[in-house]
Amino acid sequence: MNFWKTFLAALLGCLVALILNLILFFMLLGAIMSAGSTSEVPTVKNSSILKIDLSEAIGERTQEGVGADLGIPFVSMPKASLGIYDAIRAIEKAAEDSKISMILITDKGAVNSGLANLEELREALIKFHDCGKPVVSYGINYSLGGYYIASVADKIYIHNEGTMPIQGLGASMMFFKDALDKLGVEFQLIRHGKFKAAAEQYIKNDISPENRQQNMEMLNSIWENWSEAICISRKIDPAVFNEAIDQLKIGTAESAKELNLVDETLTTDEYTQKICGLVGVEKEEDLKVVPIATYAKTLDQSMKGEKRIAVLYAEGEIAMNGSGISANKFVRQVEKIRKDKKIDAVVFRVNSPGGDAQAAELMREALQKLAAEKPLVCSFGEYAASGGYWISAQANRIFSDKTTLTGSIGVFSLAFNYAKGLKEHLKINAVQLGTHKHATAGDMSRPMDEEEIAYTQKFVEQIYTKFMNIVSDGRKMSIAQVDSIAQGRVWTGTQGVEVGIVDEIGGIEDAIKYAASLGGATTYHVVEYPRVKTQMEVMMESFSGSGEESLLKRIFGKKNVSQAEQILQDIEENNRVKTYVRMPYNYEFSY
């Protein structure tokens, strides 16, 4: 009898605990939802200031999310972000909105947007400035990327104790061969293209001359675009500007003023009074400041015109399935757009460093089928390289930002083994058995032999030839011309126009207008694919994670994984010989 009393009491306790946990869980969901964005259209008052805080990320697409870190262990909560197209549209609307008196740019020294999106944002600000409304910038500290944006402003202010450590544009690379040798791990790289530097960090302990050349020319191309824009806006001699950077003359607020990079150094109170004076109010409390993400919610979402222009986003690494661009899901999405008779033209927005060659080909085939029925125009974001270029090359027209990284027309296969590590460190002798000589080719417990490497090289050469034919057809170039600019070399958008793999410098809005003209539309509305996930959907994914992601990615987030940890991810993901059309690295520039 006592047993059943104890058992029932324990069962009741478990049920009560379960109910309480469910209540707490749904209370947490409610808190998260309330912390996120609201669907209500905000009210904009007269003499409002449109504020662009450069510490707030501008990404590819607008995404709902929470407004603060809720401190839940091992769960990366989705943060709200503004998409670049919505940001541009918001600035355009503000230029015509009588209630918006000016734009205020603020910089705390950390810019969270990519190079290409900064470029498109700057172009939109220039157009706003040309409409006659003032643009003002104030920085506690200015980063290079922040100053690139701020240089558009009529007046640039900096805190009197602020900093502007402009030292040029840089990127760092790590090479792991020596460490891998000690661990007994060997990578075998089979590639076509002397510039195809993907996985070079695993087989070398220093950068190759070809890789150094392409990276330096790429960095210089980006820098030339940025520095030219800054110097034109501020009426500074480029030679003086570059000399000041080389000699580390730019750093303090006073040095920035002496070089005409800013107009005044101000305390916070002095800056506030400046802004009050510009909009004709006496006190800070009377200022009506509207963040751009909030103002973007006032954009007219109603359907204008009968014509529809679809914007199809492809963001991330290309794979058959998984996070990033899933080829299987992508093909189904393209088919849906192709069959929709109401869609007159398509803009394909690409932000991808490439990935699986076979997956890229399935995507390209679907896009070609679509292009046979509707105009297809490409718009490049941060990356449209290797596999990202494979799927884009045959579009009717390609628009790219100047700082987009594109090209990387090359192929590689990567295999690794830990045979030496097993033998030397763990004293394990691996034995392979098979019915034929090469039955265990690609097994991680042994390296590939010369015949197997030659066999894999044939696939690499076959895919490289296919890649060149795709580019030749799409860009109307001879195979010899394609090969001369291919070899795995990465180009910027500016260089891409020069060598013929890009048609025109322009952002997503330019591509949409061009696609509309091909579709015969003067008035139209834009529909975006795939559907943006709701805040609840993104949040639940953050809780549950994805079975296709490694534990490191789920806990730390891919951007926060160190390069050493990235090796572990690569070993986890590349556990068999596979052929890739991918960029060498995901570049993380210092700006």
Q: Are residues 136 and 282 located together in one domain of the fold?
A: yes
Q: Are residues 463 and 555 located together in one domain of the fold?
A: yes
Of the candidates 31, 24, 87, 101, which has an alpha carbon nearest to the alpha carbon of residue 59?
Answer: 87
Domain boundary (298, 321, 355) is at 298
**From the CB of residue 176, how many other CB atoms can be counted at a distance below 10 Å?**
19
The total number of structural domains in the chain stands at 2
Residues 6+ positions from 591 with CB-CB distance below 8 Å? 111, 115, 143, 144, 145, 148, 169
Among 182, 369, 437, 458, which one carries the catalytic annotation? 437
DSSP string, 446-510: S---HHHHHHHHHHHHHHHHHHHHHHHHHHT--HHHHHHH-TT-EEEHHHHHHHTS--EE--HHH
Q: Which residue has the tokens 């292009």?
A: 371
**From the CB of residue 356, how many other CB atoms can be counted at a distance below 10 Å?**
24
Using CA atoms, how far apart are residues 439 and 573, in angstroms rounded to an integer? 22
Q: Are residues 150 and 272 located together in one domain of the fold?
A: yes
Range of the domain at 287: 48-166+250-298
Q: pTM for the whole thing?
A: 0.84
Beta-carbon-side half-sphere exposure of residue 515 (alpha carbons within 13 Å): 34
Residue 428 located in a structural domain:
no
Q: Are residues 474 and 381 located together in one domain of the fold?
A: yes
Q: Are residues 141 and 283 located together in one domain of the fold?
A: yes
For the chain, give the longest Cα–Cα distance. 94
Is 386 known to be catalytic? Answer: yes
DSSP string, 287-355: --EEEHHHHGGGS--S--SSEEEEEEEEES-EESSSSSEEHHHHHHHHHHHHH-TTEEEEEEEEEE-EE
Q: Are residues 321 and 409 located together in one domain of the fold?
A: yes
Question: What per-residue confidence (pLDDT) applies to 418?
Answer: 86
Q: Are residues 521 and 401 located together in one domain of the fold?
A: yes
Question: What per-residue confidence (pLDDT) applies to 351?
Answer: 96
Residue 471 located in a structural domain:
yes
Residue 188 located in a structural domain:
no
Residue 523 near residue 102, CB atoms below 8 Å? no
Using CA atoms, how far apart are residues 453 and 441, in angstroms rounded to an integer? 9
Q: Are residues 405 and 258 located together in one domain of the fold?
A: no
Sheet holding 325-326, edge to edge: 186-192, 411-417, 578-582, 354-356, 318-319, 325-326
Residue 135 near residue 151, CB atoms below 8 Å? no
Would you give the distance in Å from CA 448 to the centre of its chain? Answer: 35
3-state secondary structure of 513: helix
Question: Domain of 95: which CATH number?
Answer: 3.90.226.10
How many residues are given for the chain?
591
Residue 548 near residue 321, CB atoms below 8 Å? yes
Residue 353 near residue 583, CB atoms below 8 Å? yes
Which sign does the torsion angle of CA 78, 79, 80, 82 carry? Answer: negative
Buried b (16+ CB within 10 A) or exposed e, 483-497: bebbbbbbbbbbbbb
Of the candidates 78, 79, 83, which has an alpha carbon nearest to the alpha carbon of residue 61?
Answer: 83
Residues 6+ positions from 485 with CB-CB distance below 8 Å? 407, 409, 491, 499, 500, 501
Question: What per-residue confidence (pLDDT) applies to 560?
Answer: 45
Residue 222 located in a structural domain:
no
Q: Are residues 291 and 312 located together in one domain of the fold?
A: no
Q: What is the 3-state secondary structure (H, E, C) of 226-267?
A: HHHHHHHHHCCCHHHHHHHHHCCCCCEHHHHHHCCCCCEEEC
Is 437 known to be catalytic? Answer: yes
Per-residue confidence in pLDDT tens, the chain, 591 aa = 555 556 556 666 666 666 665 555 555 555 555 555 455 778 899 999 999 999 998 999 998 765 545 555 445 556 778 999 999 999 999 999 999 999 999 998 888 899 999 999 999 999 999 999 999 999 999 999 999 999 999 999 999 999 999 999 988 888 988 988 888 888 888 888 777 777 788 889 999 888 899 999 999 999 999 999 999 999 999 999 999 999 999 999 999 999 999 999 999 999 999 999 988 898 899 899 999 999 999 997 665 667 899 999 999 999 998 778 999 999 999 999 999 999 999 999 999 999 999 999 999 999 999 999 999 999 999 999 999 999 999 999 999 999 999 999 999 888 888 888 888 888 888 888 889 999 988 888 889 999 998 998 999 999 999 999 999 999 999 999 999 999 889 999 999 999 999 999 999 999 999 999 998 888 889 999 998 776 666 555 555 554 444 434 443 444 444 544 554 455 445 555 567 778 766 777 778
Q: Are residues 466 and 392 located together in one domain of the fold?
A: yes
Question: What per-residue confidence (pLDDT) applies to 581?
Answer: 79
Q: How far is CA 257 from CA 109, 233, 268, 409, 546, in A?
A: 17, 15, 17, 45, 50
Residue 526 located in a structural domain:
yes
Q: Are residues 271 and 366 located together in one domain of the fold?
A: no
Residue 228 located in a structural domain:
no
Backbone angles phi, psi at 320, to 5 degrees: -65, -45
Residue 380 near residue 350, CB atoms below 8 Å? yes
Among 81, 143, 386, 542, which one carries the catalytic annotation? 386
Would you give the distance in Å from CA 405 to the centre of its chain? Answer: 11
Q: Are residues 387 and 481 located together in one domain of the fold?
A: yes
Single-letter amino acid code for the residue at 491: W
Q: What is the 3-state secondary structure (H, E, C) of 137-184?
A: EEEEECCHHHHHHHCCCCEEEEEEEEECCCCCCECCCCCCHHHHHHHC
Residue 531 located in a structural domain:
yes
Question: What per-residue confidence (pLDDT) applies to 255?
Answer: 96
Residue 431 located in a structural domain:
no
